[in-house]
Chains A and B, each alone.
Chain A
Amino acid sequence: MKCSRVLSFLLFTTCGISQPVFAHGAKIDYQQTSAIVVRATFDDGTPMANAQAIVYSPNDLDTPWTKGVTDESGKFTFVPESGLSGNWDVKIRKSGHGKIISIPFEIQKQVVEVNSPIANKDQSLPVVSESDPTVNSAYSWQQKMIMSVSITWGFLGTALFFFRKQT
């Protein structure tokens, strides 16, 4: 047991696109996905290879969304469920040591235009670190006030222009 070793996490996001391949009598479609890659190491840099990985989704904190094992370099990759934005918690543990990390994840609605009968299902695809206006639309009251004044002044200015004194 490596008692004083402290785990550290490195977080990567990948956007994998499998390219279409054309062959006789076959069709291959591609699906764009965003994956989250977590890398766990001890504090001396040693990868946490073959460690248990447990993922919890934002809408069920109690039941693991998926479980798996890290690879030789301590990496564990998963693709968050489309439509579930929020904090995805990933727990990595091995030999009596472990840690948990919260990964913020937001949804951006995209439609992939592909000439394929299978793809292009108008499904929302998860993209990490890109804000969706429908999800993250919380302006401060100062911003709202400035916007309101600007809009009002636009109307007033236009009205005053038309009712200006004729010389």
Chain B
Amino acid sequence: MLKIIDRKSVFKILCAFLFLVVGCNSTDKTEKNITFKETAAEKQGTLLVVANGEDFVRNGFITKDGWEIDFTKLRVSLGNVVAYQTETSFDPDQDQAINSKLAIPITKEIKVVDLTQEIGSKNLTPQNLTIVKKIMVPVGLYRAISWEMLPTNDFGFEAQTIFLQGNAMKNGKKINFELGLSVPTKYICGEFIGENRKGIVTKDKSTELEMTFHFDHLFGDNNLPSDDELNLGALGFQPLAELATIGNLRLDWQELQQKLDSADVEKLTQAIAGLGHVGEGHCKAISL
């Protein structure tokens, strides 16, 4: 018997067994990949990517320094919007990067959206949120989103990322303003925070994924105490009002940087970094 099962034979048997084990594992991987492709192709749902300027933009508000603001246009230039599926929640304050299992590019090219569209516009959802894009995506929970605000020439100014048009009133004084801001920024955000959950794509029901813009961070909120952190960090409107000529104010970012004092420019820049939210959830802002 020992002649039959000598050392060489034992070695050959072991080698054959090793190949068998490795071969079996390779087969498993292939099967998993096929399963994933079939799932991605068959199970898709509608994702409605929306931008929300909130009531501050839609209905107007009173700034921290008492100016009553009413926007007629508030346009932002969006690019490189990406929706992410992750296993667990993404915390922009703690996590370095989004550990996604699926990343869906929503818009690569620049898309300009107006956050002050009139009710009834076809570009609005029933909740009056501005539609950025409607897209079919694999089902699942989209827990994170990132987007960039990139310069565009579409605002009547050259290379601006935000365009604000409207009027401001205080003590009977009215100022018509058109302002261009250009602070290219990337916002990296986690899941939408609000009463309801958003971003859950199912086969039969469309869902929203929201980019929220908190413009009270720029101008402050008269309903809050003056020493509230939001108001302490906001520019307000008075420094801008002082630049108006005969009730008119039309300046782009380059002109604002020259005419505002440096502390106000810095305050405005920081406020723009804090502009991007997902509902009540904060985002990480990276200057581009």
19 additional contacts (CB under 8 A) given A97-B280, A144-B25:
A2-B229, A4-B230, A4-B233, A5-B229, A56-B197, A61-B141, A93-B193, A93-B194, A96-B280, A97-B282, A98-B193, A99-B193, A102-B89, A104-B88, A145-B22, A149-B18, A152-B17, A153-B14, A163-B5
**A148 and B25 form a contact (CB under 8 A):** no
Answer whether residue B244 sits at the interface, using C-beta atoms and an 8 A cutoff: no
Interface string of B8-19 (1 = CB under 8 A from A): 001001100110
Chain A residues with a Cβ under 8 A of chain B: 1-6, 8, 43, 56, 61-62, 87, 89, 91, 93, 96-102, 104, 141, 144-145, 148-149, 152-153, 156, 159-160, 163-165
| Bound-complex Cα distance A69 to B228 (A) | 24
Interface string of B181-201 (1 = CB under 8 A from A): 000000000110110010010
A163 and B5 CA atoms in complex are apart in Å by 9
A156-B280 in contact (CB<8A): no
Chain A residues lying within 8 Å of B13, measured Cβ to Cβ, are 156
CA of A101 to CA of B190, assembled, Å: 10
Residue among A3, A62, A156, A163 with the highest chain B CB neighbour number at 10 A: A3
Shortest distance between the CB of A142 and any CB in chain B (Å):
9
How many residue pairs link A and B with beta carbons under 8 A? The number is: 91
Inter-chain contacts of B66 with A (CB < 8 A): none
For the complex, what is the distance from the CA of A100 to the CA of B229, rounded to whole Å? 22
B281: which of A61, A98, A160 is its contact (CB, 8 Å)? A98
Q: With A93-B193, A102-B89 in contact, do A1 and B281 touch (Cβ < 8 Å)?
A: no
Closest chain B CB from A165 CB (angstroms): 5
Report chain B residues within 8 Å CB of A56. Answer: 197
Least distance between A129 CB and chain B CB atoms (Å):
15
Contacts of B214 in A (CB 8 A): 3
Q: For A160, list chain B residues within 8 Å (CB).
A: 2, 5, 10
Q: Determine the distance from Cα of A42 to Cα of B197 in the docked complex, in whole angstroms.
A: 22
- Is B118 interfacial (CB 8 A cutoff)? no
Residue of B nearest to A44 (CB): B229
Given the known inter-chain contacts A6-B282, A87-B88, please indicate yes or no for A149 contacting B17, CB distance below 8 A.
yes
Residues of A within 8 A of B17 (CB): 148-149, 152
Residue B236 is within 8 A (CB to CB) of chain A in the complex: no
Contact present for A149 and B14 (CB under 8 Å): yes
| Across-interface contacts of A3 in B (CB, < 8 A) | 214, 217, 228-230, 233, 274
A93, B88: Cβ atoms under 8 Å?
A: no
Is B91 an interface position by the 8 A CB rule? yes
Determine if A164 and B141 form an interchain contact, defined as CB atoms under 8 angstroms apart. Answer: no
Cα–Cα, bound, A167→B190 (Å):
74
Closest-CB distance, A44 to chain B (whole angstroms): 10
Q: Chain A residues with Cβ under 8 A from B228's Cβ?
A: 1-3
**CB < 8 Å: which of A93, A97, A100 contacts B190?**
A100
